[in-house]
Structure 1
Amino acid sequence: MNVAAAPAATPAEVAIAYHERTKHSLKRYAAGPETLDWDGQPDPFRQFAGAARTELPLLADQLDTVYADLFVPGAVAPAPLSLAAVSTLLELSVGLTAWKELGPDRWAVRANPSSGNLHPTETYVIAQNVPALPSGLHHYACRDHVLELRCPSAEAESAAAGRLWIGLSSIHWREAWKYGERAFRYCQLDTGHAVAAFRYAAAALGWRAQLVRGLDSAALAALLGLDRAEDFPGAEREEPELLIAIDADPGAAFVADALPALDRAHWTGTANVLDRHPMYRWPVIDEVARATRVTQATAAPPPQAGPDYPPRLPPATARAAGVILGRRSAQRFEAKYHMPRETFWSLLDALLPRAVAPFDVWERPAALHPIVFVHKVEGLESGLYALPRLPAAGDVLRSLLRDDFEWTRPEGCPAHLPLYRLVRNDARGVIRTLSCHQAIAGDSCFSLGMLATFDEAMAGGAEHYRYLFWEAGMIGQALYLEAEAAGLRGTGIGCYFDDDFHHLLGLQGRQFQSMYHFTVGRPMTDARIVSSPAYPGRKA
């Protein structure tokens, strides 16, 4: 008797199976390492030995751009595209911001946050006709704030206008070393944080940014040199993520995918090994990575009219560089502090999908919608709230969430802010439990979980699994900077009990899934931690 073989799983089915497999729950955690050798932590800094280096000046702290002007089109005059400006862009997005020490431990803090401060994201720069910077593909070595030339341009230097692109990749092992199978999720969140970080940095220079859609994953890997096995002998490979086009002259015509040709006969540099003795292997990460790669490049989706939200009027008068370079992840919160209500409104208002930084880099309709646990906001009742970022999502959520939810507008809420109270209660203990028993979720002023229109997104292809995390990371980056600008702090929460959170809301099936959690409050500082400059001995 012949039995037909089961049909192979589609890429979307592989991604969905991974998502289900890597959920934490009150009954069990997703598969991860049973022990950690902290002395054997992977090297957080990739370098390419033998590549020519261009040292970058440290100028970001001299930038006078006001943080509030990042959200006003035309408020910041475009900086000329130069080595100094490229350096500032990198310093404000993926550069080091400080070194920290506690006892025998020393670690770096960066402008872009990362799960567990493990930083799987690597940055590449493609430059053409930028004064004082060799044209070609460079790797950004953030520890030393230098560019390593991996492949020169095949096009002659000219007086034509300069052009710039940023490529991002992920080293999965950096996260998997600590987080096991769930690491792919965190790598994708970190990519989203980095996209938003670059968009904020570009806005501070008066520049625009947009994602390049004209490359599939294989083409991007070839462009960034990630497919060159000979350049990674025994070293951890990098997964291509995306390419960002930087428009340094918003008044001129700009073609995002008009990439310069590289001289592919002259690659230089060999990647360093990050972990010589890995203790575990997580093959499911490679499976979901393969399944979610872009296999066919597509054009950017046509613009879609969204809600006509009024312009943002952030109260922050601080310099953008001060906010960005001062961003930190909170470790503990003052449990008795209450946030002013106007600050709370402003933080949520920053998450609406306006055509300004950071969300104008994202050309897709908003797919993430926060469910907010309000703990301590002056003049606002504690309880559970919903912030559907698109009206249609609000209608669907109302039909799927619990029947006994109120869906009432809180008193004093700005008319344009789509915030709805679902239930009045003190949910600090509930969200602490759902956040893998982490105190920061309950001690904060508010916490939130980001629900994604999961089934709808996955119907568009497996690569949308990555896109959902990227959008979630962008929302997280907005919360980080808005909290910092308000004199508060935030922190991302990647460990939470997925389906238990869904059940609390009355959700069934996969129409909505939570992709990321976040929490904001007033931080408590640890006086034992000593801080030192990011680049000691370096001058502007």
Structure 2
Amino acid sequence: MNKPLNETVLAYHERTKHHFDRYARGPAHINWNAQPDAFRRYAGAARFELPLVADTLASTYVDLYQPGAIAPQPMTLNNVAALLELSLGISAWKQYGDNRWALRCNPSSGNLHPTEGYLVLPNMTDMPAGVYHYLSHDHVLEQRGIFKQKGTEILEAALSSGRFLIGLTSIPWREAWKYGERGFRYCQHDIGHAIAALRYAAATLGWKVQLLDNWADTEISLTLGLEQHEDFDSTEREMPEVMLCINAQNDILPYSRGLTGRLLGNSIVPAITDIRWVGKANVLDPHHHYEWPIIDTVLDATVKPATEETNWTAPPLPPLLPIECKSRAADLIRQRRSAQRFETITPLSLKGFYRLLDSTLPRNGATPWDVFPHLPRIHLILFVHKVAGLSPGLYILLRRDGIEDNLRAALQHEHFLWSKPKKCPEYLHFYQLVQGEAQNVALQISCHQEIAADSAFSLGMLAEFEASLKKGPWGYRQLFWEAGIVGQVLYLEAEALGVRGTGIGCYFDDAVHSLLGLTGTRYQSMYHFTIGTPLHDKRLQTLPPYAHLQNRE
């Protein structure tokens, strides 16, 4: 059964590659004055205003990586508000002339934000049990689902004290409006970024997060009210992506139903039979000038059923390389930006560079990798331009043990050096493949974007593609999630070093593979990224994130 679905995934992936002589199918022109509404709202739903409290959190960024450094905070409305403010909330507004747009803590391709967040809350002080949609613009929870007595009892029995659920969804039209058929890819990148953003935000409160990867998409959809089709515009599908369990008790979940103690979807879904749905979703774009049926095809092909739990555990590693950063975690999370340009002179320190690489390695119980219970399938191909003490060239970082022989055989260039730099930490599987200037190549394969060449270094994320699809076509989505988590780590780590990163979704896929001597689809490039010293555009004005709420009562 999986074979034809995997073939659909492979066909989509091939069809949506960029090439030197043509780009993936997208709109012929873009009217920036008519882009989709950046904010989902539910007319008729009760609104619960949330306090803006992130400024009260004293935990530092370094604290996030120190087990026990932050005492678990109680599950209160204030702390739930802080979690949302630092994960899916607005971080700033930018203004240029008459144009004004919001930035958020969770980055998005093209700042289009297809990701929506929903909460499933038990009874709390000042907040009744229900299914809520988070509206970041107003920093409010809209109550979509009102549990009746039986539904509340089922929910309370399934969720022990101090725990609640957050579901993430995607609205593909928001990305397809600009990026056409490649939009599905970017929706999945954004889910990975959002998962990591939630994990970092939870860490500021001393909370843990579990990814409930055993749930079926239908269970997520039922729980979040996405099956109430009359409440949504039929041309703007909202798709279930992932369910997360937030644990304010910071202990092991007491569920014995599964191998690793993850809450099963069938323990929550029965509560939905005793719920009343309220509110109608706004129309994001009344004029769909282009349609991309291939996105619906791949959406249907990658629907995930209920699955067995994964039990992969990261191997023991030395402590993460230290960093000199005194920033509060909340400040650093909200200052994250995508760099638009880099200056071409200042090198990145070797110490900082190795810290960046080290932070992408999964560590047992460490933020944010403890949220992703899967064997790492993403490895980094690096174009090093300006790193002090490191010769420019092409490098590779292997993010797990046991893959080196396979990759050495797959990267079919006899002249690759596979040379470990002298000052590289022993446990980093980091090798130089080619020595020499790499800026022109980085520029060319990243759709001729100068940010890939002017930075200290750029990279491509190389995925174990075929191996990931063996478990099912939904593995395609999870590859992008892993790449997005790596991207979010790099974003925050760059800020902590005093530099800046930028995700790159536009690159020439097969040009990367050709550069590495790869053939077939065993390995595929999934995402690019670049880090360097940013140049700031002084024409842009930065405004506070929630100044527009100062007068609300």
TM norm structure 1: 0.95
1:317 is matched with which residue? 326
Is 1:196 equivalent to 2:190 in the alignment? no
Q: Partner letter of residue 58 of structure 1?
A: L
Match of 2:312 among 275, 285, 303: 303
Quick one: distance in 1 between partners of 2:252 and 2:486? 29
1:224 is matched with which residue? 224
Q: Partner letter of residue 288 of structure 1?
A: V
1:87 is matched with which residue? 81
Is 1:49 equivalent to 2:49 in the alignment? no
Match of 2:359 among 350, 357, 367: 350
Is 1:30 equivalent to 2:39 in the alignment? no
Secondary structure of 1:316 counterpart: coil
1:272 is matched with which residue? 282
How far off is 1:133 after superposition? 1.8
Deviations along 1:463-493, whole A, 9 cap, x unmatched? 0000000000000000000001111110000
1:448 is matched with which residue? 459
393-402 vs 304-313, greater mean Cα deviation: 304-313
Deviations along 1:27-53, whole A, 9 cap, x unmatched? 210000001111110000000000001
Quick one: distance in 2 between partners of 1:216 and 1:386? 35
Match of 1:120 among 109, 114, 117: 114
| Structure 2 contact 223–268 (Cα < 8 Å) conserved | no
Q: Partner letter of residue 479 of structure 1?
A: L
Q: How does 1:351-370 map to 2 (within 5 A)?
A: 351-355=360-364, 356-370=366-380
Deviations along 1:400-433, whole A, 9 cap, x unmatched? 1122111111121122222111111111011101
1:60 is matched with which residue? 54
Quick one: distance in 1 between partners of 2:2 and 2:142? 42
Quick one: distance in 2 between partners of 1:433 and 1:307? 38
Quick one: distance in 2 between partners of 1:507 and 1:228? 45
Match of 1:382 among 360, 373, 392: 392
Secondary structure of 1:205 counterpart: coil
Is 1:96 equivalent to 2:90 in the alignment? yes
2:258 is matched with which residue? none
Question: Relative to 1, partners in 2 of residues 1:265 and 1:249: Cα closer, same or farther, differing over 3 Å?
Answer: closer
Quick one: distance in 1 between partners of 2:96 and 2:86? 25
Quick one: distance in 2 between partners of 1:267 and 1:164? 19
Question: Relative to 1, partners in 2 of residues 1:279 and 1:235: Cα closer, same or farther, differing over 3 Å?
Answer: closer
Question: Relative to 1, partners in 2 of residues 1:124 and 1:305: Cα closer, same or farther, differing over 3 Å?
Answer: closer
Quick one: distance in 2 between partners of 1:318 and 1:114? 24
Q: Partner letter of residue 350 of structure 1?
A: S
How far off is 1:441 after superposition? 0.2
Is 1:514 equivalent to 2:494 in the alignment? no
Q: How does 1:431-470 map to 2 (within 5 A)?
A: 431-470=442-481
Deviations along 1:220-262, whole A, 9 cap, x unmatched? 1111111111111456220100000011102364444253824
How far off is 1:448 after superposition? 0.4
How far off is 1:265 after superposition? 4.5
Q: Partner letter of residue 51 of structure 1?
A: A
Secondary structure of 2:402 counterpart: helix
2:406 is matched with which residue? 396
1:4 is matched with which residue? none
| Structure 1 contact 332–524 (Cα < 8 Å) conserved | yes
Q: Partner letter of residue 101 of structure 1?
A: Q
Quick one: distance in 1 between partners of 2:91 and 2:314? 38
Q: Partner letter of residue 107 of structure 2?
A: P
Question: Relative to 1, partners in 2 of residues 1:277 and 1:264: Cα closer, same or farther, differing over 3 Å?
Answer: farther
Quick one: distance in 1 between partners of 2:8 and 2:548? 49
Quick one: distance in 1 between partners of 2:428 and 2:20? 34
Secondary structure of 1:480 counterpart: helix
Question: Relative to 1, partners in 2 of residues 1:285 and 1:330: Cα closer, same or farther, differing over 3 Å?
Answer: same
Quick one: distance in 2 between partners of 1:307 and 1:512? 26
Deviations along 1:53-89, whole A, 9 cap, x unmatched? 1100001122111111111222210011000010000
Structure 1 runs of 4+ aligned residues shifted over 4 Å read 156-160
How far off is 1:263 after superposition? 6.1
How far off is 1:531 after superposition? 1.2
Secondary structure of 1:399 counterpart: helix
In structure 2, runs of 5+ residues without a counterpart are 256-261
Deviations along 1:252-300, whole A, 9 cap, x unmatched? 64444253824644110000000001100000000001100102x1132
Q: Partner letter of residue 337 of structure 2?
A: R
Q: How does 1:468-483 map to 2 (within 5 A)?
A: 468-483=479-494
Superposition RMSD on alpha carbons, in Å? 1.8
232-241 vs 332-341, greater mean Cα deviation: 232-241
| Structure 2 contact 199–368 (Cα < 8 Å) conserved | yes
| Structure 1 contact 95–110 (Cα < 8 Å) conserved | yes
1:182 is matched with which residue? 182
Secondary structure of 2:276 counterpart: coil
How far off is 1:204 after superposition? 1.1
Quick one: distance in 2 between partners of 1:42 and 1:171? 11
Q: Partner letter of residue 155 of structure 1?
A: T
Quick one: distance in 2 between partners of 1:244 and 1:283? 30
In structure 1, runs of 5+ residues without a counterpart are 1-6
Quick one: distance in 1 between partners of 2:314 and 2:143? 42
Quick one: distance in 2 between partners of 1:433 and 1:252? 48
Q: Partner letter of residue 212 of structure 2?
A: V
Is 1:289 equivalent to 2:299 in the alignment? yes
Number of residue-to-residue matches in the alignment: 533
426-435 vs 234-243, greater mean Cα deviation: 234-243
Q: Partner letter of residue 94 of structure 2?
A: K
How far off is 1:314 after superposition? 3.3
427-436 vs 309-318, greater mean Cα deviation: 309-318
Q: Partner letter of residue 396 of structure 2?
A: A
Q: Partner letter of residue 463 of structure 2?
A: A
| Structure 1 contact 151–264 (Cα < 8 Å) conserved | no
Is 1:530 equivalent to 2:524 in the alignment? no
Q: Partner letter of residue 23 of structure 1?
A: K
